[in-house]
Structure formats: C-alpha cells, structure tokens
Structure 1
Amino acid sequence: MAEKKATEKKATAAKKTTAAKATTTKRATCKKAVEVAVSAENAGFRAGDVYQALAAAGKAMSVAEIAKAAKIATEEVYLGTGWLLKEGKVKNEDNLVTLA
C-alpha cells in the first residue's frame, strides 16, 4: 500500500512539473506597431509610391504585394491608396487595388 501511494505521488508530481513547464515556455508574440506620419506631404509621397508600384506591375495587386514592391509598410499603403481613391486614380477590383 505504501508503494502504491508513493508511485501515485511521483506521477502527480511529474504531471505538475510537465504542466508548469508547458505554461512557462510559451511566449507571447505581438506585432510591432508601425508609426506613420499622417500629413499631406507624407500621404502624397505614399500615394506616389503606390501608384508607381501598380504602374510597374501592370496588374491588380493586394496591399501586401504593393507594400513589398514599394518597400513601405502596409499602413503606408493604406494611406497612399486612400489618397489615390479620393482622386479617382485607383479602384477596388476583387479585393485588389488596380489603376483606374
């Protein structure tokens, strides 16, 4: 009987140790916040970057593709796309941005 209790205690202790290790090794990952200077000048520059990327590709592109081609952050792509949408230079086509 004493052996059974000792074995149960060891098994319970092992489970607790394993559970503790599993919870302590997890790390939270979060995206870095990108700061975008919202000014008329910066929006105009980003609009130029977006327009040039679309013109060079010659096809509709996603926001991520535009960001990669123009070497700017996705937030900056949104800023430039908003400017171009207001001017009527781009349009949305099947959730892709294309020149109008």
Structure 2
Amino acid sequence: MAEKKVAATKAATEKKTTVKRACATKKTIAKKTAVVINAENVGFRAGDVYQALAAAGKSLSVAEIAKVANISTEEVLLGIGWLFKEGKVKEQEDKIVLA
C-alpha cells in the first residue's frame, strides 16, 4: 500500500515539473529599428504625426501618437520636431496638440 502511495506522489511531482517547464515564459528580444533620417522620411513622419493629431482632435502624448500613427517613438519625435519648426503643433500639458 505504501509503495502505491509513493509511486503516485512521485508521478504527481514529475507531472508538476513538466507543467512548470511547459509554462515557462519566453523572453522576447526587442528589435531596434533603424530610423532613416533624411528630409523625405522626416517629412513623411511629420505627416503621420499631423494626421494622428487631426484624427484624434485632442492633445496626445508621444506614446499615444506612436500607437495611433503606427510608427516608433523616435519617428514621432522626428515628425514633432518638423511640425514645431513649421509652427503646426504646440505643447499643452506635456502633450502635443495642433496649433
């Protein structure tokens, strides 16, 4: 009787170990995207930022603009710089809004 109990306990322990190994989380490696900095690319990113702000109709943070425009935060910053220089956007409560 004791042998059956030990065998059952051992089998349960092995099963738990297998489940833990199967459920281990995968580590994801963040890919760095290379941002091409030239007048054409920066102009397109400025257009993406402008369209995102116009569609939202309110002030957005850099992260929100990146999500709406589906571009990286670095590209958002490039576009914002272009639009700031042209006077198309302004800062309002740590967010960006159309001027």
TM-score, length-scaled by structure 1: 0.69
What is aligned with 2:83? 84
SS in 1 for 2:33: coil
**Structure 1 portions without partners, runs of 5+:** 1-27
What is aligned with 2:62? 63
Instruction: Deviation per CA, 1:45-73: give whole Å up to 9, x if none.
Output: 00000000000000000001000100111
Identity, % of aligned positions: 66
**What is the alpha-carbon distance in structure 2 between the residues aligned to residue 67 and residue 30 of structure 1?**
20
Equivalenced residues, count: 75
Alignment of 1:10-89 (within 5 A): 31-89=30-88
What is aligned with 1:98? 97
**What is the alpha-carbon distance in structure 1 between the residues aligned to residue 55 and residue 28 of structure 2?**
35
Task: For 1:39, give the aligned amino acid.
Answer: N
**Structure 2 portions without partners, runs of 5+:** 1-26
RMSD of aligned residue pairs (Cα, Å): 1.7
1:29, distance to aligned residue in structure 2 (A): 7.3
TM-score, length-scaled by structure 2: 0.69
